[in-house]
Structure 1
């Protein structure tokens, strides 16, 4: 049974005067922040402010690159060449790294967003392009992806430390992929069910798919979606449940024994 786990949230997804999520509250509850880099959400001002808040809370910084799809919030698949994927990921990592450097910190991990995450999880060539971009920028960065996915395999093949991610509030398919958001049951609305799923992944390394199939799902990090109306309340509840079972919290760079990256101190 895992004795520690990382809690991450997708943050910095506001844009201009439009606000999304409870970033400042969540930054007091998570250990890692995946910060939008402008392709699906976020803008330079939001990126700078989110980095500042994360640093002030001692939360590890991660880039959250996306396909170039603001209109679709980065959730629509695109057919792009591997070199295009590599370059757009590299571009976004570099942008957020600049804000991290200006804030006296640095990036610890990279987690693709939305369709980029889903496509790279199952498409070996896309996964290799993402991993190649991460390694080209900084081989000490941790690549985040689903357990057993092409993304994790590509990261390992590239010599990167990888963090296997589980989703507390998303349903899974029998093949281990996330249930598409186009389905009405893609999200778990019942907090009791979401907490139980998260604990099952952390303690047993498994998850029950939508059809009842039990599949292996060992995790190093749990994702808490920051755009829900009850995200902060759920984060508090999950932290309490983990603590009650003797499971501590630690950022990815602190808990992965083979990671060369470390959370800035």
Structure 2
């Protein structure tokens, strides 16, 4: 099967609320790509993701996917992008009881209705996704509240994968989960990239995923830097661009050097 390349482009983008957190963001991202976004708290990482998916309108600038202007329009971005929120901000199965299978099936059914997909195909899709994310079969019909933190994170990723779209955006996918869970999620991200998708994540420490990373974007104090890991995660670049933030990133540089 031939997979067409997808182009995500931002043009003169300024993101923020009352005022801009970061301005003049000009990016061109072609599939397959994996991009890690770093930066201290409050630098605009989550704001950037929310702007990409159309939930938040930019202060100025435009976002294009395959030439279509999708700026601030969730109906349009939803055709191209799946979003995985931070697990810490998403409550699973604690408001009302729901099984793992039901959680994914509900999303798959809603998506299938828009495409007139048969019921048998929905069940097949749910099964494929649960197998892909590695949740044990014995947990499929158990309550979501029975899952570990890492399993819940995988379930949120599974929910996003119901839509077979070309771009997957994840907010801190490795946060609040154990080492085993991080390893599984890291493997999932690699699989997604290998399936010709654009995968964009925010992170505090890029080391665990650095071998799969095509580009790194660092936000800090209203500016950003974007490039290949070997170009961005260097003391000389970080010191020049971020000055006082250099100490915070120094540990990441050493981790990156170690993986080289």
Asked whether the two chains share a fold, i.e. TM above 0.5, the reply is no
Q: More strand per residue: 1 or 2?
A: 2
Normalising to structure 1: TM-score of the pair? 0.34
Q: Which structure has the greater CA radius of gyration?
A: 2
Normalising to structure 2: TM-score of the pair? 0.34
Q: More helix per residue: 1 or 2?
A: 2
